[in-house]
Amino acid sequence: MTQEERAADMVGRFERGDLLCWSADAHQLEKCAIANDPLVMGVADGNGKPIVLGAEQIKVLGPIRAGDYLVASDVPGYAQASDAPSFGIVIGQALEDFAGESGLISAMIRKM
């Protein structure tokens, strides 16, 4: 995020549930767009501000089962379940099932 975005009440380029990664090139948070990105940092709240810990809504690509570990997908802003989670790429754990193609679910956000 830019200095102006950090000071603002809302970050207009992010929406609730966007998965956020650190961009080494831009030196700011951006929507994740690389599968299993180790620079995954948090999830945007309803004002587009980053959340790094707690039960929050997150955008996912299904299917998802409660308990699945969530990692970045190659679809900007979306997480996916991981078949082989490893340290550093997991942003959280699904708290509910999801059978659709894409949507919002509740997850416990905590980088692992």
> At residue 14, does pLDDT exceed 90?
yes
pLDDT category at 91 given cuts 50, 70, 90 is very high
pLDDT tens digits, 93-111: 999 999 999 999 999 999 9
Q: What pLDDT does residue 5 have?
A: 86
Q: What pLDDT does residue 76 have?
A: 98
> At residue 2, does pLDDT exceed 80?
no
Q: Read off the pLDDT of each residue in 80-94 and give the average, rounded to a whole number.
A: 95
CA 11 – CA 65 distance, rounded (Å): 30
11 contact partners, CB below 8 Å, separation of at least 6: 1, 5, 44, 47, 48, 49
What percent helix, strand, coil does the chain show, rounded to 5? 5, 45, 55
Q: Read off the pLDDT of each residue in 46-66 and give the average, rounded to a whole number.
A: 96
3-state secondary structure of 89: coil
pTM: 0.94
pLDDT tens digits, 24-46: 998 999 999 999 999 999 999 99
Phi, psi dihedral angles at 7 (to 5 degrees): -80, -20
